[in-house]
Amino acid sequence: MNLVLIATVLIVMALAYQIGLSRSRAVANGGVRLHSRPGYYGVLVALWCGLPALLLFGVWLLLQDAIIEMLVVNQLPPELAGLSEREMQALMRRIGALASGQGLAGEVEAYEIAAAQQMTRLESMGRLAMFASMAVLAVVGLVLAQRRISPQLRARNHVERVITALLALSSGVAILTTVGIVLSLLGEAVHFFSYISPAEFFFGTVWNPRFSSAGSGGQGQFGLLPLLWGTVMISVIALLVAIPLGLMTAIYMAEYAPPWLRSVAKPVIEVLAGIPTIVYGFFALIVIGPFLSGLGDLIGINIRATSALTAGLVMGIMIIPFVSSLSDDIITQVPKSLRDGALGLGATKSEMIRQVVLPAALPGIVGAFLLAASRAIGETMIVVLAAGNNPVLHANPFEAVSTITVTIVNQLTGDMDFSSPQSLVAFALGLTLFVITLGLNVIALVVVRKYRQQYE
Amino acid sequence: MTTTNLDTVDSRRRQRLDTVQRSLKSRHARERRFQGMGLFAVITALVLVTILFASILMRGVPAFWQATLYLDVHLDPEVIQVDERPVRQAAESPAQFRERELVWLNQLGMVNWNGLIDEALKAHLPGEIESRQTRDLRALVASGERFALRDRVMENPGLIGQTISVKMLASADVDVWLKGNIDRSLADSRQQLSAQTREWADYLKEQGVIRNSFSTALFLNTDSRSSPASAGLAGAFMGSLFMMLIVIALTVPLGVASAIYLEEFAPRNRLTDLIEININNLAAVPSIVFGLLGAAIFVGYLGLPLSAPLVGGLVLTLMTLPTIIIATRAALRSIPPSIRQAALGIGASRVQTVFHHVLPLALPGILTGSILGVAQALGETAPLLLIGMNAFVANVPSSPMDQATALPVQIYLWQGNELRNFFEARTSAAIIVLLGLMLSLNAVAIWLRKKFETRW
């Protein structure tokens, strides 16, 4: 239905384009020079004809259902006013089913039929009114625009202004996203802090949220520190794996590797970056975890299959390509003159790299490490599967831990009840996560940018 | 060594050279060590990729073939006693017809389909089978298969009275037993199947009644709780498909438009700087935060349904948008300014320059970036968990508003299934399907880049 309407509008716009085109050609045949090429007049007429109608259509769609429902509810017998919200919804669904011609099985009340008839009437009226006003808008736009066609009309400039405005609008979506993130996180987090004081949340050392449905009165304890500690522990392990491997890979690829190895190894390592994190999580769970705990048995240490070590190790593997491709970019940016200078003084290649290239590239590499750290902190699926979900403060990497991201998933999964601290805490945790990663990113970007300017 | 020359220079210089000579050996050793470390890092990364893929392939590939029973089932009219299939009468409303149809479907549902299958099985098994052994007998067949038989009769009631040959999936436990995924020497009490069923399974396998045949169920069925052997990916696949369509339809136009605006039109001022920083930061925001955004705004505030691919698609759109903007901007930036200057120089406007000259040249890069962005969205799990897409869904979604899961979420659900030794393989198979889709997307992107790559 709506698709047909949109298609109609598009066809009308195509017609309008033709009208504008032929009209401007007719004007041009009089021997005058048009300001723009005829096509632009056509597009201008089409835009005038179609855009207002489409805008109206969008607004109408947003409002129609709510307005019709309001009108129908107002017409219902007064004794129904006492219905609860849920009963009201059920009633509206029944009326909707009747109105759509689907029909209902079983008993149907007279007022329901009346309401359904009214709803059908209103819907068809609304649809007619919408058609009519869209048609009027389209025709008025068409006529007005068509009249204005004259050699002096700067059609191209008008059309281009519309295009530029549309482009600018779409770049606003990114801003809107950020605003949306900040508002939703802040809003719900503030809501959460009305149950639990921020001090209790940020400095609490015990995480024990309990279940909201128990109704036992006890609110549970929402201490962030055990989760933050688990996050940091796993991230540090991940970085301990990823930084040496990633950096050495980047150095070897940039400075030593023969072309054939480069052409094979680079895409293969990049494949690692494209693998979904759930796959890494599964890999950790079925391969790395059992392997580590077997290894622990061999050397007499008690290593749990799902532990900070397992999650950290696999997360490290995941961010190797991230570290290596960022470092690679930065290392290759170090000017050749610096390298040549070092080699000219008799340095070996590794001395050149260690004493000249790396110090020169250091800010950029630090930036890359910070970005890698922010990625590790925000990673979810690997830790959900492999970290063991044990929100307790302890310093043993062989034991299970829990992280901020895992807890967000646990607290919010499937349950959309935004009124208990048990699910609202997810937003407070999300806010913490957002602020931490944002901070790391901003520092990293500033550092990298500084470094770029230095050598450009 | 040119000792004659050395005799002529002063001793200090000789000493210095001596020091250098003596240190040379250890410096070269250090050089070799450094290079070795680099090579070690590269090889480690390659080995890790190999282990990852090998372990998943080894576990997953066998799951594409499943133990299947080839039986002749006699559809005994004595057992299947149902009325004629109802036909919709002119005066009936759809709801009334549906009610009559339900009665008929109910009759079909009450038929003892298991009994029919039992008879078919008994025909192949040696000896008399007592009724107390029925339990052992039924453990052979996947419990969902009786519904498959029912559906076949429902579609074609004319079959009643005939003997039809059917392929039936063996139960998950039988599959595990025959593939040796459970230790065959375990004591009876620790086996999933009774001794009798195990014996029968081996016997039927020997007779060729149970064969390992390609598992179409994996692709054609939806997830199933009661009958794990027939659990498939069809529902998750459709969910992912809907989401990807939404992502492509929204994120590519929006992303490309905003990239064009920022790169080609935006004035350099505070606002555009802000947008730029904002986009860079959005690209590094953890994906789970987008899930929180979706839960709070799309589900909580706008009231869109939980578990709907529409919401998932919107969340993933916002998540991929920065990636696509950044890729498109890089593609636009790689077009040399001389192209723009040439177009502007012969009188094209800025919009014309961009749309007629720059954009077509940047298209391969934009396409590559978009495909990679979509592939990333395809593999994303964490944000979908927060908007309820991890619910168990037994139907293939037919529209973006229906309940659905996605491929990576299905992997998450399956890895958590209690029937560990069956679902480990099933999960790996699902991962192979997902990775196959993602790798083919990536391959297309690489192919496009290679085919249209231009060096300026």
Considering CB atoms only, which of A103, A184, A274 is closest to B297?
Answer: A184
Q: A299-330, pLDDT tens digit by residue?
A: 888 888 889 999 999 999 999 999 998 888 88
Interatomic CA distance for residues B311 and B384, integer angstroms: 9
Chain A environment of B382 (Cβ under 8 Å): 277, 380-381, 384, 405, 409
The predicted pLDDT at position B323 comes to: 92
Considering CB atoms only, which of B52, B284, B301 is closest to A437?
Answer: B284
Does residue A83 register a pLDDT over 80?
no
Q: Give the containing element (helix H, strand E) for A304.
A: none
Averaged pLDDT for residues B215-228: 86
Q: Which is more confidently placed, B124 or A433?
A: A433
Amino acid at A268: V
What are φ and ψ of residue A205, in 5° steps? -105, 5
Instruction: Enter the tokens of residue A261.
Output: 């190895």
Chain A environment of B411 (Cβ under 8 Å): 278-279, 282
Does residue A207 register a pLDDT over 90?
no
CB contact under 8 A, A248 and B40: yes
pLDDT band with cut points at 50, 70 and 90 for residue A272: confident
Q: Given the structure tokens 């004081």, which residue do they identify? A: A197
pLDDT band with cut points at 50, 70 and 90 for residue A216: very low
Q: B280-334, pLDDT tens digit by residue?
A: 889 889 999 999 999 889 988 887 888 899 999 999 999 999 999 999 999 999 9
Chain A environment of B39 (Cβ under 8 Å): 252, 256
Q: Which is more confidently placed, B96 or B62?
A: B62
Alpha carbon A446 to its chain centroid, in Å, reads 23
Interatomic CA distance for residues B358 and B336, integer angstroms: 9
pLDDT band with cut points at 50, 70 and 90 for residue B5: low
Contacts of B107 (CB under 8 A, 6+ apart): B81, B82, B83
Handedness of CA A36, A37, A38, A40 (dihedral sign): negative
Interatomic CA distance for residues A21 and B397, integer angstroms: 45
The predicted pLDDT at position B432 comes to: 95
Q: B118-132, pLDDT tens digit by residue?
A: 888 888 888 778 888
Task: Show me where the domains of chain B are located.
Answer: 65-214, 234-452
Q: Given the structure tokens 């997902």, which residue do they identify? A: B434
Count each helix (H run) and each strand (E run) in chain A, helices first.
Answer: 17, 2
Residue A360 to chain B, least CA–CA distance (Å): 19
Interatomic CA distance for residues A400 and A391, integer angstroms: 8
The predicted pLDDT at position B238 comes to: 93
Judged by DSSP in three states, A207 sits in: strand
Q: B38-52, pLDDT tens digit by residue?
A: 999 999 999 999 999
CB contact under 8 A, A105 and B95: yes
Interatomic CA distance for residues B329 and A170, integer angstroms: 14
Does residue A217 register a pLDDT over 70?
no
Interatomic CA distance for residues A431 and A186, integer angstroms: 7
CB contact under 8 A, A177 and B293: yes
Q: Which is more confidently placed, A99 or B371?
A: B371
3-state secondary structure A147-182: HHCCCCCCHHHHHHHHHHHHHHHHHHHHHHHHHHHH
CB atoms near residue A124 (< 10 Å): 10
Amino acid at A246: G
CB contact under 8 A, B424 and A168: no
Averaged pLDDT for residues A153-179: 90
Interatomic CA distance for residues B340 and B342, integer angstroms: 5
Considering CB atoms only, which of A255, A348, A445 is closest to B27?
Answer: A348
Closest CA to A155 of A259, A66, A67, A41: A41
Averaged pLDDT for residues A83-108: 76
Beta bridge partners of B164: B73
Contact B124, B209 (CB under 8 A): yes
Chain A environment of B48 (Cβ under 8 Å): 272, 317, 320
CB contact under 8 A, A265 and B46: yes
CB contact under 8 A, A380 and B282: no
Chain B environment of A257 (Cβ under 8 Å): 42
Residue A181 to chain B, least CA–CA distance (Å): 5
Averaged pLDDT for residues B358-381: 91
The predicted pLDDT at position B237 comes to: 93
Q: Which of A402-406, A452-456, B56-60, B82-86 has the lowest mean pLDDT?
A: A452-456
Interatomic CA distance for residues A349 and B243, integer angstroms: 50
Q: Where are the alpha helices (DSSP H) in B170-269?
A: 172-179, 195-207, 217-220, 234-260
CB contact under 8 A, A185 and B284: no
Contacts of A49 (CB under 8 A, 6+ apart): A12, A13, A16, A138, A139, A141, A142, A145
Q: Which is more confidently placed, A254 or B95?
A: A254
- What pTM value is reported for the model? 0.88
Considering CB atoms only, which of A103, A177, A283 is closest to B55?
Answer: A283
Domains of chain A: 2-153 (no CATH), 207-455 (1.10.3720.10)
Interatomic CA distance for residues B92 and B111, integer angstroms: 28
C-alpha distances in Å from residue B279, one per residue of A326, B89, B185, B283 = 18, 60, 59, 6
Does residue A454 register a pLDDT over 90?
no
Q: A102-113, pLDDT tens digit by residue?
A: 667 667 777 888
Q: What is the CATH number of domain B234-452?
A: 1.10.3720.10
Contact B287, B383 (CB under 8 A): yes
Averaged pLDDT for residues A216-241: 86
3-state secondary structure B272-287: HHHHHHHHHHHHHCCH
Considering CB atoms only, which of A103, A104, A160 is closest to B351?
Answer: A160
pLDDT band with cut points at 50, 70 and 90 for residue B9: low
- Average model confidence (pLDDT) across chain A: 86
Considering CB atoms only, which of A256, A287, A409 is closest to B55?
Answer: A287
CB contact under 8 A, B39 and A430: no
- Average model confidence (pLDDT) across chain B: 88
CB contact under 8 A, B296 and A427: yes
Q: ipTM of this predicted complex?
A: 0.89
Residue B116 to chain A, least CA–CA distance (Å): 34
Q: Give the helix, strand, coil percentages of chain B, each rounded to 5.
A: 70, 5, 25
Considering CB atoms only, which of A286, A287, A414 is closest to B391?
Answer: A414
Interatomic CA distance for residues A352 and B441, integer angstroms: 40
Q: Which of A379-383, B207-211, B430-434 has the lowest mean pLDDT?
A: B207-211
Handedness of CA A287, A289, A291, A294 (dihedral sign): negative
CB atoms near residue B49 (< 10 Å): 19
The predicted pLDDT at position A214 comes to: 46
Residue B133 to chain A, least CA–CA distance (Å): 37
Considering CB atoms only, which of A277, A317, A346 is closest to B381?
Answer: A277
The predicted pLDDT at position B32 comes to: 93
Chain A environment of B287 (Cβ under 8 Å): 378, 380
Residue A274 to chain B, least CA–CA distance (Å): 7
CB contact under 8 A, A278 and B253: no
Instruction: Enter the tokens of residue B305.
Output: 């349904």
Residue B209 to chain A, least CA–CA distance (Å): 33
CB contact under 8 A, B45 and A272: yes
CB contact under 8 A, A249 and B275: no
Does residue A172 register a pLDDT over 50?
yes
CB contact under 8 A, B434 and A177: no
pLDDT band with cut points at 50, 70 and 90 for residue B194: confident
Residue B118 to chain A, least CA–CA distance (Å): 37
Q: Which is more confidently placed, B70 or A72?
A: B70
What are φ and ψ of residue A304, in 5° steps? -80, 150
Q: Given the structure tokens 């693998």, which residue do they identify? A: A275
CB contact under 8 A, B48 and A285: no
Interface size, chain A vs chain B, as Cβ–Cβ contacts under 8 Å:
283
The predicted pLDDT at position B262 comes to: 92
Closest CA to A286 of B383, B232, B423: B423
Share of chain B above pLDDT 90, in %: 39
Which chain B residue has its CA at the smallest distance from A248's CA?
Answer: B38
Considering CB atoms only, which of B42, B52, B262 is closest to A171?
Answer: B262
Radius of gyration of chain A (CA): 32
Q: Which is more confidently placed, A267 or B252?
A: B252
Amino acid at A124: S
Q: Select the highest-mean-pLDDT range: A69-73, A330-334, A403-407, B177-181.
A: A403-407
Q: A122-141, pLDDT tens digit by residue?
A: 888 888 898 899 999 999 99
CB contact under 8 A, A160 and B288: no
Considering CB atoms only, which of A167, A184, A430 is closest to B257?
Answer: A167
